Structure 1
Amino acid sequence: MTRKPYESYLEDIAQLITIRDEDRPIYTKDFDIIRDHVLNGMKKVDSVFRKMYQGTSLFGSYANNVRIKYPNEFDVIFILGIPHSSNIVVNRDAYSPGYVNLDLEEVMEHLQDANGYAEVYDRFNELIDEDDCLLRKSFQIWLKKVVRSCLKTYGNEIRGHQGDLYTLKYSKRGLAHTIYAKCTARSISIDLIPGISFGKAEWMKVSKRHRKMFGNTKWYAVPKPPVRLFHTKCCAFMICNPKFERKLLLGRQNLKVVFRLLKSLRDKYGMKRLKSYFITTAFLWEVEKQKKSFWNNPLHILLEHMLESLADSFAEGCLPFYWDRKNNLLDNLDNEEIDDYAEKLKRAYETLRQYKFEPNLTYKRCRTHFKLP
């Protein structure tokens, strides 16, 4: 069967925005060097951090293979294990769905009696409230000091794998500790997200359909501030499980291609606050609904379907967090933004859905909906 022009154009656009294999090592090898410089330096300047540090896990667009154009932005969870973590009591936050409080009362009792953990005990004694719950802001302030101490002690310049000299700048943005690395040839941005590792709590549920796939993947508590700060406690941490999310998105033929097309369309339509994680969430819910064969459909069908799904979510003002439906991710946006994006997504959907019926559709017209290199 001959491909229709619209499908062919989408394939060409997808090819343009997909990271080229030859571009990957240029960025990824230098990313490895910069990441290790910072995190290994943090271990050297702070003994408590050294005892807690358990490595890193990539997540986000690059890890899910939906990054577009260049691999110059990386999201990394640096995993922190609190000693005697099996004694952490993980409670749901009463006011913020998808968030937990980490009760360290039993942990502190064990640390107080254990040999070699006096520094850890003293540090966490400064980071908990009167109920022995870990304080999000205090935890982040401590990590901020560790990053700054690392760069002050071991320098803010480092050579890449080809000898390029990068200058490093540090910025604290929301939950992320961001390292901006710049040399004459390129720039790289690394969001370092602290993730406190914990086991699955009794109240946490995984759908029967995915329980076997879930296995023993780790949960993390990350210090993302809740939207309703005036209601919730200062010790609310958001739960996440990026490895499981990655498993859900894996091996579905055209899913990731359509994901990249949506990101390119989002950029062209100026929807800067339509975060990649919003799109990820829309796909996670769709994976719940559809058979695996659904993702073998042509690009134009899947793109139309996901555009309609996102447009409906914004029109309704609700996109539930995958790990807790009561948490509406769109609460992070104001009403004007939600209405604006709902209109733009609807307009894109209604326009593109007609293209499959237009035999004289041109590539030039089709590409006007996507931001290309």
Structure 2
Amino acid sequence: MSSTFEQHLEEIVSDLYGTSNHYDFAVVRDFIMNEIVMDNDLLNSTCQVETLHFGSRPLGIHCPGSDYDVMMVLEFPSYEDIIVRPDQHRPGMVHLDFKDASFNSFTEDTLLDNRWYLKRDEVQTWIKGILMNAHGRTVYGRYNDLYELRYKRRQTSHTITAESENCTFSIDFVPAIKIHFDGYDWQAVPKYAPGPKRSHGCTFMVSDIRSEIYHITNGGENIQDAIVLLKALCEAKGLPKIRNYHLVSTAINYILSDDFDDDSSLEYVFLDLLYNLADAFNDHDLPYAIYGDLDLLSNFTPEKVIEYADVLNSTYRTLKTYPGQYNLSYERCSWHFYGDDDDEE
């Protein structure tokens, strides 16, 4: 028989989940890819494009209002010959050296520097020039909703917002470069990272979307539920810098450890994840589960790490007592996830 805490967690998580997909997401995505991206002659003559869904929805951890995330993976000719050079000053970042790869005159003249390194901002500017052609265009949805599209450039993504009289949703398109590194195919996302000036403009972040989805999906429903609960808890506790990728990496590291038992109850999977997240902040070290050289806490100041660690440790000390409290009230439990004004005690 499940504990009172487990029953409360199950009720809370069922309330937190969002719908799986907006029915017109695929319509707008396909319009962007087929009518805007694939219709670009320069792009087609330079590389092939593959789309990968990533983020909270394919991971099964989305909440109401979650945006859609689509990675545009650019596969250059003979991509296996791109030399992937880890950045010695920015752990987890790499430079992409094209000197042994095939490329056209546009790539040479616009995208590469004088060392044949791919330039991060030029890739983003190129994709911006393509996707901004969607701005002001209109698309009919499945049920004749007429959507007007708007474009907005963000730090690493390009957001297309589709708005009709009945609804609004957004798709974040993220460009990435297909690379072959350490015997595997990866995606390299153009991303700024602080450090010395040399090669400052050539930083790319290594990711592996397929592996993330594989591990979280195979980890089981309790893993997905625990991530959703932990995300809500972090928001309720005023820890906004903890993002989904922090929680997903914490979960994958847990799944791959000897401590993971796929028969464990939701309450213990959740408490284990909370403990591991707190421990990562205690150590100021949360490696990306797929590429351990990348520390996901590198953009936290030491003061912010200490602040977050204190909150996580205090919360864990309280919640670990809940499985044995058979008279635990729903209000006392849910306060941690919804951040109500009422005192928990």
Determine if the TM-score, normalized by the shorter chain, exceeds 0.5: yes
Give secondary structure in 1 for the equivalent of 2:105: helix
Q: Percent identity?
A: 27
For 1:319, give the aligned amino acid.
L
Deviation at 1:198, TM superposition (A): 2.0
**2:20 partner letter:** R
Query: Structure 1 residue 18 and structure 2 residue 17: aligned?
Result: yes
> CA separation in 1, counterparts of 2:157 and 2:326?
48
Cα separation, 2, equivalents of 1:59 and 1:171: 19
In the TM superposition, 1:155-304 aligns within 5 A as 155-199=136-180, 201=181, 204=182, 218-228=185-195, 230=197, 232-253=199-220, 254-290=222-258, 294-304=261-271
1:313 aligned to 2:280? yes
Q: Which runs of 5+ in 2 are unaligned?
A: 340-345
TM norm structure 2: 0.90
8 Å Cα contact 2:20-2:57 kept in structure 1: no
In structure 1, the partner of 2:328 is 361
Q: Which segment is superposed worse, 271-280 or 325-334?
A: 325-334
Letter in 1 for 2:63: I
Deviation string, structure 1 residues 288-324 (Cα, Å, up to 9, x no partner): 21366x1321111111111111111112222122244
Distance in 1 (CA, whole Å) between partners of 2:100 and 2:48 is: 21
Q: Is the 8 A contact 2:151 2:158 kept in 1?
A: yes
After TM superposition, give the deviation of residue 230 of structure 1 in Å.
Answer: 4.0
**Which of 46, 55, 60 pairs up with 1:60?**
55
Quote how far apart the aligned CAs of 1:169 are.
Answer: 2.0
Determine the C-alpha separation between the residues in 2 that align with 1:121 and 1:195: 20
C-alpha offsets along residues 126-180 of structure 1, whole Å, 9 cap, x if unaligned? Answer: 11111111111111111111112x225xx43322222222232222212111122
TM-score (norm 1): 0.83
1:12–1:225 distance in 2 versus 1, CA, 3 Å: same
| 1:320/1:66 CA distance change after superposition, 3 Å | same
How many Å separate the matches in 2 of 1:275 and 1:239? 18
Whether the aligned pair in 2 keeps the contact of 1:304 and 1:349 (CA below 8 Å) is yes
Contact 1:53 1:78 in 2 (8 A): no
**Alignment partners' CA distance in 2, 1:366 and 1:351:** 10
User: For the structure 1 residues 183 and 337, does the alpha-carbon distance in structure 2 shift closer, same or farther, using more than 3 Å as the test?
Assistant: farther
* CA distance in structure 1 between the partners assigned to 2:48 and 2:81 by the alignment: 18
- 2:128 maps to what in 1? 144
Say which is worse superposed, 357-366 or 331-340, in terms of deviation: 331-340
Mapped to 1, the partners of 2:42 and 2:108 lie a distance apart of 9
CA distance in 2, matches of 1:321, 1:303: 20
Query: 1:295 and 1:65, CA in 2 relative to 1: closer, same or farther beyond 3 A?
Result: same
Tell whether 2:24 aligns with 1:43: no
Gaps of 5+ in 1: 112-119, 206-215
- Where 2:303 maps in the other structure, the secondary structure is helix
Whether the aligned pair in 1 keeps the contact of 2:37 and 2:131 (CA below 8 Å) is no
SS in 2 for 1:171: strand
Number of corresponding residues: 337
Counterpart amino acid of 1:269?
K
CA distance 1:180–1:128, change in 2 (3 Å): same
1:323/1:31 Cα in 2 relative to 1: closer, same or farther (>3 Å)? same
Q: Deviations over 1:220-241 (max 9, x none)?
A: 1110212436465321211111
State the alpha-carbon separation in 2 of the partners of residues 339 and 345 from structure 1. 10
* Contact 2:92 2:295 (8 Å CA) reproduced: no
Q: 1:198 to 1:31 in 2, by over 3 A?
A: same
Q: Does 1:99 align with 2:93?
A: yes
How has the CA–CA distance of structure 1 residues 162 and 371 changed in structure 2, closer, same or farther, with 3 Å as cutoff? farther
CA distance in 1, matches of 2:279, 2:154: 30
Closer/same/farther in 2, CA of residues 83 and 286 from structure 1, 3 Å limit: same
Q: Retained in 2: the 8 A contact 1:227–1:331? A: no
Cα 1:185–1:264 shift into 2, 3 Å:
farther
Query: What is the rounded CA distance, in whole Å, between the counterparts of 1:334 and 1:347 in structure 2?
Result: 20
Shift of 1:257: 1.2
Partners of 1:42 and 1:49 within 8 A in 2? no
Structure 1: how far apart are the matches of 2:245 and 2:205? Answer: 14
- Alpha-carbon distance, 1:45 to partner: 5.3
- Other-structure match for 1:213: none
Larger helix proportion, structure 1 or 2? 1
**Separation in 1, partners of 2:142, 2:120:** 36
Cα distance between partner residues in 1 of 2:235 and 2:137: 32
Q: Please report the RMSD computed on the Cα atoms of aligned residues, expressed in angstroms.
A: 2.2
Q: Per the alignment, in what secondary structure is the counterpart of residue 228 of structure 1?
A: coil
